[in-house]
Amino acid sequence: MRGPVNIVRLLRTGATFERTGAMTQILDAMQAPPLLRGLVRGLVWPFRWLGYAGDPAMPPVTRAITALGPAYVKFGQILSTRPDIVGEGLVQQLRILQDRLPPFPTPVARAAVAADLGRPVDELFSEFSEPVAAASIAQVHRARLRATGEEVAVKVLRPGIERAFRRDIDAFRFAARTLDLFVPQTRRLRPIDVIAHFEGVVRGELDLRLESASASEFADTTKDDPGFRVPAVRWAHSGKRVMTLDWVEGIGAADVEALRAQGHDTEDLARRVLQLFLRHALRDGYFHGDMHQGNLKVDAEGNIVAYDFGIMGRIDDYTRRVYAEILFGFIQRDYRRVAEVHFEAGYVPADRSVDQFAQALRAVGEPIFGMDASQIAMSRLLAYLFEVTERFGMQTRTELILLQRTMVVVEGVARTLDPRMNIWDGARPVVEGYIRDSLGPLALARDLARSARILARFSPRLPELAREGLIRTATPPAPWRPGLLAAALYMAAGAALAVLGGLIAGVL
């Protein structure tokens, strides 16, 4: 019964956008042609009664997204950093999703804290405020530790959030399987893997013990970064559904006018937030995966303060080098090298033309150089890049999904702080420094030393491993002799797949 239920959920998604008035605003932002508008409205309008009404006090798009659930809110948070894609009008609505969603009652939060930490709130805190911020998965209260008098931020998960998240993801998974089955053009995007990756990432947000560990590790790896702070975790006041951090006063990164009024250089902040992200990703292979404005503050000294460590990204050494070489090639406008790196990493099928891929990448990169960000139509560039990767059969790399998504978000934050910023100019010093440190002679020596240490660790077993390998090589594999039942099942499965493939081909 899950299939029909998920079909209803997807219909309800469109119906909710129609019922709240969000559909018209989205089609306007997309500059959809009249034919597309008529088709979409004609398909959705009969099911308008299925849609959620949402909170009438909210703007239409925010009203629809919050009514649909936490997974939709997460997607809206990503778009809230991209005025170049969705337009400034929609961005103003979507920014509400970052930290100004309707809170749940404080007595419910106090009960959750007491249940998770095993002590009444009044024994732990001398003060416990009303919610100061509320997002899709949790809300934050300002409190004061009874033992020391220090101010802290207490994050509490929303009640029932796990069940709501499972419901949303189930519908997304159904949509991904449907696309994979009936729309072959989407298979290279690996929608099923993408949804599985998204599910795994956000499930980590539903256990605040893991987020506390992430915050602690992130503080350790970034402690020497000038102009950047991570609040300390208060482990004695943290658990599965509650996390307590030091309180830090600051101005939200979205409030550009307030930052300027306090004398902060927003152009420097824009450049710094981009460079910090790249430094964490390339140098450490560990980065904040949700760096939208709602998770960033600027303190009185001009430090960027990060919050919300439920989504953190990791990339291995090899992937970091590939990513850096691609960025460096774009910065140097060496499109041939960018193309070669894609082929060497296996991102593009080997039977495609390197020269043609390089030419297509030039058409993506050249419009960026010599322009500030305000002159670049990023939505058109993204659309063309999508066409290029589709034409050359490049599959979605699930290990890079979070990195690429965060890069888009961080660029959006930087452009909010400085609309004229050029991402390539900002990235150049960090990427060039990483290339110099990671691909030069010293890096080669480090790699050889690391390989030698690994071989030394296994050296006592090397004779045994070599002997086992020689035995396997010398012994021919036994022939496979399926039983009658196994053979019949195998043939039946092949026939069923052939029939199914013919049906799908006929439909398409």
Tell me the three state secondary structure of residue 156: strand
Whether residue 316 lies in the annotated active site: no
Reading phi first (left if > 0) and then psi (alpha if -120 to 50, else beta), residue 333 is in left
Instruction: In whole angstroms, give the CA distance from residue 74 to residue 447.
Output: 39
Computed over its alpha carbons, how large is the radius of gyration of the chain? 26
Residue 120, Cα to own-chain centre: how many angstroms?
Answer: 36
Give strand pairing partners of 140: 133, 155
Taking a C-beta distance cutoff of 8 angstroms, is the pair 392, 348 a contact?
yes
What percent helix, strand, coil does the chain show, rounded to 5?
A: 65, 10, 25
Alpha carbons within 13 angstroms on the beta-carbon side of residue 408 total 19
CA distance 260 to 200: 39
Q: Concatenate the DSSP letters of all residues of 250-287 into one string.
A: -EETT-HHHHHHTT--HHHHHHHHHHHHHHIIIIISEE
Query: What is the C-alpha separation between 270 and 418, in angstroms, rounded?
Result: 6
CB 139 within 8 A of CB 158: yes
Q: Which of 290, 308, 372, 447 is catalytic?
A: 290
Name the 3-class secondary structure at 142: strand
What token pair was written down for 301? Answer: 């000294």
Residues in the chain: 508
Q: Beta strand pairing status for 228-229 and 304-306?
A: parallel
CB-based contact 36:79 (threshold 8 Å): no
Instruction: Determine the Cα–Cα distance for residues 278 and 280; give it in Å rounded to an integer.
Output: 5
- DSSP codes, 174-216: HHHHHHHHH-GGGGGG-HHHHHHHHHHHHHGGG-HHHHHHHHH
Q: So which residues are the catalytic ones? A: 290
